[in-house]
Structure formats: structure tokens, C-alpha cells
Amino acid sequence: MAGSAYRAAHVGKQPGQVSRTVRVVVSSTFADMQKERDELVKQVIARCTGLARVAIEERVAEFRRTTASGGS
């Protein structure tokens, strides 16, 4: 992106912790900030949609297991 720069740093490297990426955006214009925000929103929505799909599939599988075994 013209006029902006970002630096990604990985946080949470200890075993058992979730790895996270921290993005720092330095922008020269409001338009650059809007573009960066729009890109992040797309990524977050895609990730949340995937996580929700996995959670739903797990619940459906559990429901099928319990109903197939005759209850609780």
C-alpha cells in the first residue's frame, strides 16, 4: 500500500499458547487506513466463518453420536 507500512510480530511462542500476529499500521492518509481496515475485516470474517463452520460440524457430529447411541 502506498504511504503505509506495517510490521508483523509473532507473539505467544510458548508451548500451549496460541500464536498471534500483531500488525502495526503507519498510514499517511485516511484512505490508506480504510484500505487496511477493509482488508483486515475480510480476513477476520473469513476466519470467523471457518471457525463457526467447524464448531457447527462438531456439534452436529456429537448430536448424531448421542442420538445414534439412544440418548445421553
The residue among 10 and 23 whose pLDDT is bigger is 23
Taking the C-alpha atoms of residue 9 and residue 67, their distance in angstroms, rounded to an integer, is 46
Domain carrying residue 38: 4-68
- Contact by Cβ (8 Å): 55, 39: no
pLDDT in tens, 11-70: 445 556 667 777 777 777 888 888 888 888 888 888 888 889 889 999 999 999 988 876
Q: Provide the number of structural domains found in the chain.
A: 1
Contacts of 67 (CB under 8 A, 6+ apart): none
